[in-house]
């Protein structure tokens, strides 16, 4: 008897996007697309006031999804992400130059994961511009995979500001890099191998800016919670914190699937031939069917037989 063997990690996905309790418009945009290269997940946070920000974030997710979906499975993941970012940036700037006043100052952040897989490994290619973030939960520990492109992050890097005081700083919303505001913008790209039991979170600052990291960790490291439920619970935490900003969330969970083995043939047995026990069962069933049919034919003959009538003289 053969044993079940583990296969590669199998992903499940969840997402949530909400305008929050204060903003009148939702300028965050999320998207999950299955492409030939792998699973693509996106969170974009729009900049630029009413209509403009929402339009910009929509352009970002559509540009990335369209660009990556058109590429071959073996295309370079890092190159695909960089090219898609350049296209998204150009598309925003073109729309901003259309003359519509609401679009003139629009822009967007983006954080994405392109998950590629071969027979040996699963990899998450993380790209980001701005302060939307990616986190990894592994073995009960939550780690941040991205570094914000923001004024307060620059202060933190120079030890001029503590992370605890960053959110209340006057420049908390000032970005040092974003899509749509310069002719050329570089997307920061890293690669993280994924293992069974890992969870990946992409989110806008509407989540991480108002929900303590430990609360996010409590949800993301609990592997009993499905990906969709985890996304909903994280959204609820942001709303319970007052929901002062739009909230965009994508969650991926990786679990190990067990591959069921095929039945093993007995030594010397033809795989295309039925086992002897099955052949005996089939033969017995056919014999019983023949006996039943014979009995029915006999009963019918007894009840429907008519004596011949002698011809009249």
For the chain, the three-class secondary structure string (H helix, E strand, C coil) is CCCCEEEEEEEEEEEEEECCCCCCCCCEEEEEEECCCCEEEEEEEEECCCCHHHHHHHHHHHHHHHHHHCCCCCCCHHHHHHHHHHHHHHHHHHHHCCCCHHHCCCEECEEEEEEEECCCCEEEEEEEECCCEEEEEECCEEEECCCCCEHHHHHHHCCCCCHHHHCCCCCCCCECCCECCCCCCCCEEEEEEECCCCEEEEECHHHHCCCCHHHHHHHHCCCCCCHHHHHHHHHHHHHHCCCCCCEEEEEEEEEEEEECCCCCCCCCCCCCCCCHHHHHHHHHHHHHHHHHHHHHHHHHHHHHCCCCCCCCC
Domain boundary assignment for the chain: 7-259
Lowest-confidence pick of 155-169, 173-187, 282-296: 282-296
Summarised one tens digit per residue, pLDDT across range 215-225 is 999 999 999 99
Lowest-confidence pick of 92-96, 149-153, 165-169, 307-311: 307-311
Q: Does domain 7-259 have CATH number 3.40.50.10470?
A: no
d(C-alpha 249, C-alpha 237), whole Å: 12
d(C-alpha 34, C-alpha 218), whole Å: 28
- pLDDT for 173 equals 85
Summarised one tens digit per residue, pLDDT across range 168-210 is 899 888 999 999 999 999 999 999 999 999 999 999 999 999 9
- CA-closest candidate to residue 111, choices 13, 203, 234: 203
d(C-alpha 199, C-alpha 245), whole Å: 24
In this structure, the strands spanning 188-194 and 122-129 are antiparallel
- pLDDT for 273 equals 46
Angle between helices 227-240 and 213-220 (to 10 degrees): 160
- pLDDT for 298 equals 55
Neighbours of 101 (CB within 10 A): 9
| Whether the predicted pLDDT of 306 surpasses 80 | no
- pLDDT for 166 equals 85
Strand order in the sheet with 247-259: 5-18, 247-259, 199-203, 133-138, 141-144
| Whether the predicted pLDDT of 78 surpasses 70 | yes
Q: For the chain, how many residues are written?
A: 313
- pLDDT for 264 equals 52
- Percentage of the chain with pLDDT > 70? 79
């Amino acid at each position: 008897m053969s044993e079940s063997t583990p296969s590669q990690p199998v992903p499940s996905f969840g997402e949530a996007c909400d305008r929050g309790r204060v903003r009148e418009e939702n300028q965050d945009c999320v998207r999950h697309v299955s492409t030939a290269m792998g699973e693509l997940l996106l969170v974009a946070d729009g900049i630029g006031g009413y209509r403009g920000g929402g339009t910009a974030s929509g352009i970002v997710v559509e540009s990335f999804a369209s660009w990556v979906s058109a590429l071959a499975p073996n295309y370079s993941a890092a190159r695909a992400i960089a090219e898609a970012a350049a296209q998204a940036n150009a598309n925003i700037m073109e729309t901003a130059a259309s003359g519509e006043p609401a679009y003139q100052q629009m822009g967007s952040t983006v954080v994405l994961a392109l998950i590629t897989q071969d027979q040996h490994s699963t990899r998450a290619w993380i790209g980001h511009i701005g302060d939307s973030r990616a986190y990894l939960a592994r073995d009960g520990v939550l780690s941040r995979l991205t570094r914000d492109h923001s004024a307060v992050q620059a202060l933190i890097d120079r030890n001029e500001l503590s992370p605890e005081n960053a959110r209340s700083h006057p420049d908390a919303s000032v970005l040092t890099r974003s899509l749509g505001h310069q002719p050329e913008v570089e997307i920061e790209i890293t690669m993280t191998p994924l293992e069974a039991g890992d969870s990946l979170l992409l989110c806008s600052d509407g989540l991480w800016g108002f929900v303590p990291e430990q609360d996010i960790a409590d949800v993301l490291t609990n592997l009993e919670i499905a990906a969709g439920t985890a996304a909903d619970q994280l959204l609820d935490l942001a709303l319970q914190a007052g929901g002062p900003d739009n909230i965009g969330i994508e969650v991926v969970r990786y679990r190990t699937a067990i591959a069921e083995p095929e039945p093993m043939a007995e030594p010397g047995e033809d795989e295309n031939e039925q086992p002897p026990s099955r052949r005996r069962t089939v033969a017995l069933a056919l014999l019983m069917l023949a006996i039943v049919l014979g009995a029915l034919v006999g009963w019918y003959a007894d009840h429907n037989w008519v004596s011949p009538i002698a011809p009249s003289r």
